[in-house]
Amino acid sequence: MLDDCTLFTIKKPSWQQVKHPILIKNNIDLWLCHLQTRPAQLSGNKWLKLKHHIAKVKAEHKHGIVTFGGAFSNHIAAVAAACAQLGLKSLTYLRADSVDLNNPTIQFCLQHGMRFHLLNRAEYRLRNDDTFCQVITNSHPELLLVAEGGSSSEGAKGVAELNLTDTPNGKASLVALATASGGTLAGVITANKSQVLGIAAVKDSSIADRVKQLLPQEVNATSWSINMDYTDAGYAKFSPELLAFCREMASYNVHVEPIYSGKALYGLFKLIEQGQLNKHKRICFFHTGGLQGLDGLLYRNLISANDYKILMGG
């Protein structure tokens, strides 16, 4: 199913073993699973979360997708890329008071035909409210409404097609990944028999409830957990230490950004260092993509041009 879209270059999942002194000291065999695509905006969890939404657009004879997102969101860039490539329309209800035409994510989306409706912060809080969503659906009957982050049962279903347990060295007893709106984590829990650890990238205590809503009933509640200890000051906030960790990872040829994948990988390394994952000998970390977010960090001067180059991999 991963190769089902001939319009994109979607490579098979690729595996990368990481050899770092902390891992060696703690006797952990760590494997990163990558899913790279061209355009890169669909890499990681993005195409997986969108593919069944796109199938639904086609099955229901709709003309495209309407969704929600912030101005630097990886999800809106992915929706714009996928819809443009497939000749579909895309519209985002954007959490913003105005559209900043210099924002690289917005530029990418506009270049790919996405349109925007602005929501202020109070309005944006209604993005999961049924009545509000019904109003949006009624306003755009030709478009399929996709939840923020693509985190719906369709999103989780796509992610559940990915086998993250069987690394090239054998079975991983733990699969770890960044979590925010919860759809990716729900898909990974559904598909993998190993223990699953979501490491939160946002300070949001409702993630677990949202994940539960997307899980089949038979899933054992003890098979997964969410760690909230490494959110830093919140979404898209990161300490100099976390940024330094991302730079260090680049020297191991692991390219992560400090909003999602780097934040979660940092948390994983801390848990390993603290001996909290000692019972696991082999761990898989799902690289969920999102490197386009580095453009936004550079644009806002939150990272230097040199950091950008290092984190992107030259």
Ligand X SMILES: Cc1ncc(COP(=O)(O)O)c(C=O)c1O
Catalytic residues: 73
Shortest distance, CB of residue 280 to ligand X, whole angstroms?
A: 21
Contacts of 81 (CB under 8 A, 6+ apart): 39, 41, 42, 108, 112
- Contact residues: ligand X, CB under 6 A: 44-45, 74-75, 149, 151, 178-185, 260-261, 288-290
Q: Which is nearer to ligand X, 31 or 285 (CB)?
A: 285
Residue 30 or 178 having the CB closest to ligand X: 178
DSSP 127-156: GG-HHHHHHHHHH-TTEEEE-GGG-SHHHH
| Cβ 184 to ligand X shortest distance, Å | 3
Residue 288: closest CA among 12, 33, 67, 8 = 33
Which segments of 36-154 are extended strands (E)?
Answer: 37-38, 64-70, 89-95, 115-119, 143-146
Question: Minimum distance from CB of 34 to ligand X (Å)?
Answer: 12
Instruction: Give the CB-side neighbour count of residue 305, counting CA atoms within 13 A.
Output: 0
Integer Cα distance of 176 and 184 in angstroms: 11
Q: Least distance to ligand X from the beta carbon of 296, Å?
A: 12
Task: Indicate the residue among 104 and 149 with the shorter CB distance to ligand X.
Answer: 149
- CA dist 113 and 264 (Å) reads 32
Q: Is the peptide bond before 39 cis (omega within 30 degrees of 0)?
A: yes
Residue 299 corresponds to which amino acid?
Y
Helix (H, G, I), strand (E, B) or coil at 96: coil
Closest contact distance (angstroms) between CB of 109 and ligand X is 14
Comparing CB distances to ligand X, the nearer of 45 and 192 is 45
Comparing CB distances to ligand X, the nearer of 64 and 289 is 289
Nearest residue to ligand X by CB is: 290
